[in-house]
Chains A and B, each alone.
Chain A
C-alpha cells in the first residue's frame, strides 16, 4: 500500500473546508462530522501501517518545497508521534459533538476554522522539517484566535484571544531563531530533522538552541512562569476549544521531538533546569488548583501540574521516562480533553462551571457526573486508568535521577488529587440549590456515545496498557540512545 497516508491526513480537513463552502449551509454539520470520521479512520490506518519494530521514521514523504532555502515538505511518523494522530482525530470528534448545537452563529466559518486547526495540529505531529513544523505551529494560532475571539463564552474573550495570539507569536520568535541557527550551523544549510539529528553541534551552540527551544515550547506547555495565558484562556473559551488546546500537549511534544534531541549535550548539562521547571510546575499547578472556584480554570491548573510531571520525568533522559511521558501525554488527550468536553456539556445546561453556581449536579445529571469523575481521576493518575502506567514510569524515573524533586512531585500530585476531589464534591454533591441545576437534563445519546468511547479508552488502556506502551518503546529507546543514555 503506497498511499501518501500522512499527506491525506493533513489535507483531508482542508478539503473538507472547501466542500463545506461549496455545499449549502444546512449540510455543514454532517459534512464536518463525516470529514472527522474519515480523518479518524485514516489516523487508525496510519497506526496499522506503522511497524513498531521497523525503521525509526516511517511513512516518509519528502518533496522539495523551497529549494533555494533547502526547505522540504517532509512528513513522517515514529513511535513518539504515531499515537497522537488517532488521539487528535478522536479529540476533534469529541469537540465537534460538544459544540454540535452550541454554534448557531456563522457555523460554516466556525467549522472551517476547526478543520483548519485539525490540519495544522496533524501537521505539527507529522512534520520532520523544522521549517515545515514551524509553518504548522504558527498556522494553528489563527483558527484558535478566531474561535476564541468570535465564539468565546465570556465578555473578555476577545482580549484573551489577542493575548494568547501575541504570547504565542512572541514564543515563536525563539523557536524560529533556534531553527535558523540550526540550519546555519550545517555545512549545507538544512531544516531536515533526520539530518540535523546526525550531526553533533558545538557545545555553546547547543546551549543557545536548547534554551531558545525551551523558551519557545515552554510557553506552549505551559511551564511556570510562562503559563499566565492559560487560566484566562480556559475561562474565556468554550470547553470544546479548551479541550483541544489543553488536551493536545503540543509544547511537551515539541520538547521531546525537537528541543532535547537537537541539543543533547546541552540538555544533559541543563537537566537541573528542566527538572526544576517541572517540579515548580507540579507544585504551582497543584496549589493553584486549590484556589479555584471555576472547574474549567481548576482543570487548567491541574494540566499545568501534570505536564510538569512529564517535564520532570524527561529530565532523567531515560527511555523509560520518554515512554512514560508520551503515554501520559496521550492519556491526557483523552482524559483532560474528555473532562473539558464534559464541562462544556455542563456549561450548556447550567450556564456556568463555577462551583458556586452548581452544587448537587450529580442528582440531576448522574451520567455526566460519573463521566467527569472518571476523566478527572484519570487526570490525576488513578491506578486502573490510562494515565497510571505513564505516571508510574515517570515517577520512578524522577525518583532515580532527581530524588528530592521526585518526592516533591509525589507531594504535589497528592495535593492535586485532593484539589480535584474537593472541587468535584462541591460541584456535584450536596443539596441542589440552583434552579438551573435542578432543571438540567442528563446527557443525550449523542453525548453519551462520546463519553462511553472516552471511558472505554481510559479504562481499557489503564487495565491493559501493554500494546500501547510497546508501540512507543522502540522509539523511546532510540530517543534515549540519541542522548547517549
Chain B
C-alpha cells in the first residue's frame, strides 16, 4: 500500500531548522521568565517572547509552499524518533496558537493577576506543548507534548486556585484528561504494535512508517476507538465534555479554558493521525460519529439555554460548535475538512475573545452570574460590541471567518449527507445564536439595576486585547482568500485517501 505521504526537508526550503526554533523559542522563553521570576522584566520578556513566536510563525508560513501536498520543512533525528513537518493546516493552527498566547500575555497584564511572572512562564510552556503537538508527525511525541501542555494547565489551575470549588473542578479536570490521555497512549501502542507485527519486530510511532502498515480488522477498530475517544475528551466532544463546564466556571478565567479549547488540537489530531492511520474504521464508523455529533449540537445547545452562569454558558457553546467541526471533518470531503479546520481556528479566536471579555466583566463585577449582571452596555460599549461580534463569528455571520468555513462545511455536508441533515446542522447554529444573544441581552442590554455595580470604563489594555482579536477576525473574514490558499492543498491531501 502506498502511503501517499511525502516530505520536503528543511534545508531545501530555508536556511535554518525553523520548526525546531518554533518549538525552542517558547521553551527558552519559559525558562528565562522563570528565572526572572517576579521581577518586572519577567513580564516584559514574556510579552516579547510571545510576540517573537508570532513573528516566527509568520516567517515559517512564508517559507512553506501551500500548493505542494507534501509535508514541509521536515526535520528528522532518528535516535530520538524526532520527526517534525508541517503543511498549511498545521501552520494555520500554529499561527492561531501564537496569536492567542500573545493576546493572553496582554490579557494577563490587564487583569492584574497575582505573580504574573510565574503565569507567563507556564503560559509559554503550554505554548511549547501546543506548538509541539502541531508540528510533530510522531504519535508518541504528540502524546508527550500533550502531556506537557496538560501538566501546564493543571499547574495553572492549581497555582491560581482560591476556593474549594476550584479544587473540585481541578480534580474533575485531571480525572477526565488523564483518562483521555491514557486512551490515546493505548491507541499509540496498538499502532506501534501493529507496525512491529507487520515489519518483524520494528516498533515505530512515526506517521510515515505507520501509514504503510495500518493495523487490520479488529485492531484497526480498536486503534480508531482509542485514538478517537482519547482526542474526543480533549476536544471536548459530546458526551465526553463533563470537565469543561466546571473548569470554565471555577478555573482561572480565560487563560485556562483558552489554552484547552482555544486551539482545537483534538480536531487537529483527528485530522493528522486518526484519518490516515485508521481509514477503513473511519469510513465504517463515520455515520455513528456524525450521528453523535448532530445529537451533540442540539443537546448541548439545549443545555446552554439552561445555564445561569456566563462562563458555563460559553463552555456549552464550545461543546456545541465542536460537534459541528466533527461533522465537517467526518464528511471526509476536502471542502468539509478545509471548512472544519478554518472554522476551528475561527472558533478558537472568537471563543477566546469572548472569554477575555468575561474576564474583564468579572474583574469589574466579581460575578459572572447572568442574573446579577445588567446594563453593562452603558458602561463598556466597546467590550459589549466586541462580545456580540465574537458571538456572531461563532454563528458564522458573513464578514467573519466563520462564514466561508461554514459555507464549505455546508457544501461538503450536502454532498455527503444530503440536504436534510445539513439543514438540521445549520439550525443547530441558529440555536447557538439564540443562547449567545440571550446571554448578551441579559448581561449587556438589560436595564441597569439601581444599586448595581459601578462599572469602570474600558481601559486601554482592554481596547488593545479585544481590538487586536476583532481586527484579526474581520480582516480574515473579508479577506479569506490567503487562508483558503494556505489550507486548500493540504485538505485535498487529507481527503484524498477516502473514496467518495
Listed in ascending order, the chain A residues whose CB lies under 8 Å from chain B are: 65-69, 106, 109, 131, 134-135, 138-139, 142, 145, 149-150, 158, 162, 165-166, 169-170, 173-174, 176-177, 180-181, 184, 208
Contact = CB atoms under 8 A, between A and B. Distances in A.
Interface stretch (B250-258, B297-305, B423-431): B423-431
B433 A165 contact: yes
B453 interface: no
A208 to B, nearest CB: 7
Nearest to B438: A162
Contact of B433 (A131, A169, A177): A169
A177 to B, nearest CB: 6
Contacts of A177: 410, 414, 419, 422-423, 426
Nearest to A165: B437
B403 interface: yes
A173 B484 contact: no
B89 to A, nearest CB: 15
Given A68-B484, A173-B430, A180 B441 contact: no
Contacts of A158: 441, 445-446
B398 interface: yes
A162 B426 CA distance: 18
Given A66-B484, A177-B422, A162 B437 contact: yes
B445 A150 contact: yes
Contacts of B363: none
A106 B380 CA distance: 12
A325 B410 CA distance: 34
Given A145-B437, A173-B426, A176-B407, 7 more contacts: A69-B484, A109-B381, A142-B397, A149-B445, A150-B377, A150-B445, A177-B422
B411 interface: yes
B474 to A, nearest CB: 12
A113 B395 CA distance: 20
Given A158-B445, A169-B433, A184 B414 contact: yes
Pick the 8 closest A-B CB pairs, nearest first: A135-B398, A173-B426, A68-B484, A138-B398, A170-B430, A162-B437, A158-B441, A180-B411
Given A68-B488, A135-B403, A142-B392, A174 B423 contact: yes
B68 interface: no
Contact of A162 (B381, B422, B441): B441
A145 B381 CA distance: 15
Contacts of A166: 430, 433-434, 437
A127 to B, nearest CB: 12
B414 A170 contact: no
A361 to B, nearest CB: 31
A131 B414 CA distance: 17
A65 B480 CA distance: 9
Contacts of B485: 68
Contacts of A138: 397-399
A121 to B, nearest CB: 15
Interface of B: 377, 381, 388, 392, 395, 397-399, 403-404, 407, 410-411, 414-415, 419, 422-423, 426-427, 429-430, 433-434, 437-438, 441, 445-446, 480-481, 484-485, 488
Nearest to A173: B426
Contacts of B395: 169
19 contacts: A66-B481, A68-B488, A69-B484, A139-B398, A142-B397, A145-B437, A158-B446, A162-B434, A162-B437, A166-B430, A169-B395, A169-B430, A170-B427, A173-B423, A173-B430, A176-B410, A177-B414, A177-B422, A180-B410
Contacts of A69: 404, 407, 484
A181 B423 CA distance: 13
Contacts of B392: 142
**Most B CB atoms within 10 A — which of A67, A69, A135?**
A69
Given A135-B398, A177-B410, A180-B410, A66 B437 contact: no
A162 B433 CA distance: 9
Contacts of B381: 106, 109
A139 B397 CA distance: 8
Contacts of A176: 407, 410, 426
Contacts of A106: 381
A175 to B, nearest CB: 11
B226 to A, nearest CB: 36
A67 B438 CA distance: 37
Contacts of B414: 177, 180-181, 184
Given A135-B403, A158-B445, A173 B488 contact: no
Contacts of B426: 173, 176-177
A479 to B, nearest CB: 27
Nearest to B338: A68
A108 B22 CA distance: 45
Contact of B419 (A149, A162, A208): A208
B404 A66 contact: yes
Contacts of B399: 135, 138-139
A134 B399 CA distance: 11
Contacts of A66: 404, 480-481, 484
